[in-house]
Amino acid sequence: MTGKLAVVGLGPGDARYLTPEAAAALASAEALYGYAPYLQRVPVRQNQIRHASDNREEGQRAGAALAHAATGVNVAVVSGGDPGVFAMAAAVCEQIESGPDAWRALDLAIVPGVTAVLAVAASVGAPVGHDFCALSLSDNLKPWELVERRLDAAAGAGFVIALYNPVSRARPWQLGAAFARLRRHLPGPTPVVFGRAVGRPDERVTVTILEAADTIAADMATLVIVGSCATRVIARPGRPPLVYTPRSAQSVHP
């Protein structure tokens, strides 16, 4: 009796981003596990058990879902965006590595989704149209010095930078510190995009520049994209500006 565990990416929020593969995995699951606000996005089905848990309980949630699946049940763990990007897929793998042999025998499926940087980028044009990196600003699981080293490396080499987890109640200063660090490498007029709740009814997208970025509010639902010095803004009469990074590059600092 082998159980099944699917780790399912819901995309940015609205059902128009949910892939058919993800919808099918959710529909066939006998039990759902997830952070409560993500579970709320999944339509309720009869005879499907739900286990909502709090943020920052990813390890426990993954372990509980694996243990449940190992009893022969078809279980799904839900993630916002894509499960492989700062989300539940790595937490599940961590638990499998340290858990009982039976967990390695499970039928495991990771179901990809549209991760936040893609949705925010699409909402303004093509800011990650050239080489880019995705970096979590949370220093819960890594030292801040490592975040700074990565900001230096990425900005210094001309990558566009997507900042996941820019701010939380417990981490109020990290985003400002990151902008200050990036100003060592990038000119003040470098475009910066704040995408809050993109793909949901309370979506708010703001385009600003690095030297003014501190004045824009961000929260846990925000993803921030900091351009490279090649990133451009196109004004459009009667429409919001487009932000994009050209496909070609001559050098890091042209």
Q: Which of residues 147-186 bind a second copy (CB under 8 A)?
A: 149-150, 152-154, 156-159
Query: Is 3 a binder of a second copy (CB under 8 A)?
Result: no
Cα gap 187→92, rounded to integer Å: 40
The footprint of a second copy on residues 32-51 (CB under 8 A) is none
Q: Which one among 5, 85, 192, 229 touches a second copy, defined by CB under 8 A?
A: 85
Query: Is 102 a binder of a second copy (CB under 8 A)?
Result: no
Nearest distance, CB of residue 163 and a second copy, angstroms: 10
Q: How many CB atoms lie within 10 A of CB 196?
A: 20
Nearest distance, CB of residue 222 and a second copy, angstroms: 17
Nearest distance, CB of residue 117 and a second copy, angstroms: 8
* Shorter beta-carbon distance to a second copy: residue 31 or 128: 128
Name the one range near a second copy by CB under 8 A: 38-46, 69-77, 141-149, 170-178.
141-149
What would the DSSP string read from start to end of 163-230?
EES--BTTB-SHHHHHHHHHTTTS-TT-EEEEEESTTSTT-EEEEEEGGGGGGS---TTEEEEE--TT
Burial of 202 by CB count in 10 Å (0-12 exposed, 13-18 middle, 19+ buried)? exposed
Name the one range near a second copy by CB under 8 A: 97-105, 165-173, 185-193, 211-219.
97-105
Query: Is 209 a binder of a second copy (CB under 8 A)?
Result: no
| Closest alpha carbon to 96 in 130, 124, 62 | 62
> Residues 54-73: x/- map of binding to a second copy (CB under 8 A)?
----x---------------
Burial of 39 by CB count in 10 Å (0-12 exposed, 13-18 middle, 19+ buried)? middle
Query: Is 21 a binder of a second copy (CB under 8 A)?
Result: yes
Nearest distance, CB of residue 161 and a second copy, angstroms: 9
Residue 149 falls in which region: left (phi positive, over 0), alpha (psi -120 to 50) or beta: alpha
Query: Is 122 a binder of a second copy (CB under 8 A)?
Result: yes
* Shorter beta-carbon distance to a second copy: residue 49 or 72: 72
The footprint of a second copy on residues 185-204 (CB under 8 A) is none
**Is-contact 198 120, C-beta < 8 A?**
yes
* Shorter beta-carbon distance to a second copy: residue 147 or 221: 147
Nearest distance, CB of residue 40 and a second copy, angstroms: 19
22's enclosing H/E stretch is helix 20-28
Name the one range near a second copy by CB under 8 A: 37-45, 91-99, 187-195, 216-224.
91-99
The 3-class SS string of 61-113 reads: HHHHHHHHHCCCCEEEEEECECCCCCCHHHHHHHHHHHCCHHHHCCEEEEECC
